[in-house]
């Protein structure tokens, strides 16, 4: 049976299966196995270029690594008798071509810098996929907003009818939140895409390595320069998980509204049956389960971030094995956020909004009272607080007629006759009209169709800019991978 070559020299004695499973990182290492092979290829190319190993050695190592890249890492590498995938791959090579050749691949590095490099290599790809999914969510929200610029609905504060708005305005608010989520992940990517390889255990190495060369081969934008920091830090992972937590909080808020809006007493939206379930006992039920599970996944991502943060909070420099327990949190948080976004895209795209029902509710709860108060200020010169008090007192009476306003002004002892100033019932009704109230709110970012048309055009431009950024980053790392494999194949040809 193949053994863990890392343990052969310093350590002796057999470990129990329970102990091997406890120490093994294999479950999370499956996420970085492919990355590890590419990191190995880059490291071997650098070793040969720097004459740390001979070309004949590189020509024996690279074919096996290229085969692992093309065929996939075999299942036996993930056996718990190896502490991690790095030891599993190295043991595989040593068995295949002997220790005199296979045992040279690890020169000038440690598993500490190797795993840190693999995590960053994998995470940057996941970040780009996550940002691409965010682009799609935003695209769907913008398209829906464009279709509903004149779909009136109630706006809420404290879950109470507040002022009328448009569905476009409401959806664009979420698009802006997701746009900021994109920006946070974009900024995190800059710190993730730095290469720690060459730091070795933490104090670098006496071999004449070229860190810049391996960084370039692997498509990184630069180095994590200080070698102790390179292996010790996981702040790039904490930043990513923090950003994902904020993203999922925004997803959860949207899902909460979809759940509420789909209830029989609100009836603003109907979610496609594919995203719903029914009851095992109540045949009439249509439950928004997908949106509810997304809310729960938010807690899972929060937990991943909190768990990672607690792992590193008390660690001294430099590398500590505790960091192994942080890594599963990275992939769990990323997986749950990624799956949620992909489903959110389809759930929004297939949702049907009941605009008649929304419009029916838009003017309820005296939601246009603010516009009536503003009318008294604009047209009749009242101080806003005075107008606010008159309209507020009339709402208390349950009516916004001219008679109620006159009576309210009298009760407040303001010495004002609104009818005497020229106010008519027709003017009151115009002020209370939902469409009129919304149309007047056309300042930048407002709900008026005029304002949302401008906002949609602006958001489309930003979407194009962000899409171009993702394309360029994906193209760069794709080319780096192609060049890396081409260099390796040329050497063994």
The catalytic residue positions are 158, 279
Cα 29–Cα 98–Cα 12 angle in degrees, nearest 5: 65
**Which residues pair with residue 166 across a beta bridge?**
152
**Helix or strand (DSSP H, E) at 49:** helix 33-49
Which residues, 6 or more positions from 74, have their beta carbon under 8 angstroms from its beta carbon? 68, 92
DSSP string, 141-208: HHHHHHHTTT-EEEEEETTEEEEEEEHHHHHHHHHHHHHHHHHHHHHHHHHHS-B-TT-TTTT--SS-
Bridge partners of 325?
none
Task: Report how far residue 294's alpha carbon sits from residue 270's, in angstroms, rounded to the nearest whole number.
Answer: 17
| Cα separation, 291 vs 189, whole angstroms | 28
Tell me the torsion sign for CA atoms 360, 362, 365, 371.
negative
CB 311 within 8 A of CB 368: no
How many angstroms separate the Cα of 353 from the Cα of each of 271, 275, 349, 358, 388? 9, 15, 11, 8, 34
- Mapping DSSP onto H, E and C, the string for 332-363 reads HHHHHHHHHHHHHHHHHHHCEECHHHHHHHHC
The span from the CA of 443 to the CA of 453, in Å, is 12
Among 193, 271, 267, 192, residue whose Cα is nearest residue 236:
192
By C-alpha distance, which of 123, 43, 119 is closest to 85? 119
| Spatial separation of the C-alpha atoms in residues 37 and 314, rounded to whole Å | 32
Question: Is there a contact between 452 and 145 (Cβ–Cβ < 8 Å)?
Answer: yes
Q: What are phi and psi of 77, to 5 degrees?
A: -65, -25
348 with 141: CB under 8 angstroms? yes
């Amino acid at each position: 049976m193949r053994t863990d070559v890392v343990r052969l020299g310093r350590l002796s004695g057999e470990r129990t299966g329970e102990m091997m499973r406890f120490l093994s990182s294999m479950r999370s290492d499956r996420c970085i196995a492919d990355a590890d092979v590419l990191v190995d290829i880059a490291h071997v190319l650098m070793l040969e270029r720097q004459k740390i190993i001979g070309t004949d050695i590189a020509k024996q190592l690279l074919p096996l690594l290229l085969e692992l890249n093309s065929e996939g890492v075999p299942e036996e590498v993930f056996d718990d008798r190896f502490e991690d995938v790095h030891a599993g791959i190295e043991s595989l090579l040593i068995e295949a071509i002997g220790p005199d050749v296979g045992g040279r691949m690890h020169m000038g590095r440690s598993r500490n810098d190797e795993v840190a490099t693999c995590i960053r290599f994998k995470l940057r790809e996941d970040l780009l996929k996550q940002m691409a999914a965010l682009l799609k969510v935003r695209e769907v929200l913008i398209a829906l907003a464009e279709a509903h610029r004149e779909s009136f609905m109630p706006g809420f504060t404290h879950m109470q009818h507040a002022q009328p708005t448009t569905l476009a305005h409401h959806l664009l608010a979420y698009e802006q939140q997701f746009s900021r989520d994109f920006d946070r992940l974009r900024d995190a990517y800059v710190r993730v895409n730095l290469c720690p390889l060459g730091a070795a255990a933490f104090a670098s190495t006496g071999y004449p390595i070229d860190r810049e060369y391996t960084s370039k081969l692997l498509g990184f934008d630069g180095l994590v320069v200080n070698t102790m920091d390179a292996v010790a830090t996981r702040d790039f992972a904490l930043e990513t998980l923090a950003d994902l937590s904020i993203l999922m909080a925004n997803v959860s808020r949207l899902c909460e509204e979809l759940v509420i809006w789909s209830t029989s007493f609100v009836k603003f939206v109907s979610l496609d049956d594919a995203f719903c379930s029914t009851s095992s006992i109540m045949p009439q039920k249509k439950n928004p389960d997908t949106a509810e599970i997304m809310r729960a996944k938010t807690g899972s991502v929060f937990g991943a971030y909190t768990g990672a943060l607690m792992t590193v909070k008390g660690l001294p420099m430099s590398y500590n094995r505790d960091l192994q327990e942080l890594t599963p949190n990275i992939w769990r948080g990323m997986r749950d956020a990624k799956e949620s976004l992909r489903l959110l895209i389809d759930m929004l795209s297939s949702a049907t909004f009941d605009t008649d029902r929304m419009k029916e509710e838009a003017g309820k709860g005296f939601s246009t009272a603010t516009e009536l108060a503003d009318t008294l200020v604009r047209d009749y010169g009242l101080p806003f607080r005075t107008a606010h008090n008159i309209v507020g007192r009339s709402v208390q009476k349950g009516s916004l007629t001219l008679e109620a306003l006159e009576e309210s002004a009298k009760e407040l002892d303001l010495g004002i006759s609104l009818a005497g100033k020229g106010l008519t019932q027709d003017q009151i009704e115009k002020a209370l009209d939902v469409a009129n109230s919304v149309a007047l709110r056309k300042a930048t970012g407002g709900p008026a169709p005029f304002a949302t048309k401008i906002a949609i055009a602006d958001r489309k431009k930003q979407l194009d800019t962000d899409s171009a950024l993702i394309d360029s980053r994906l193209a760069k790392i794709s080319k780096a991978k192609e060049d890396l494999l081409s260099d390796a194949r040329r050497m063994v040809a």
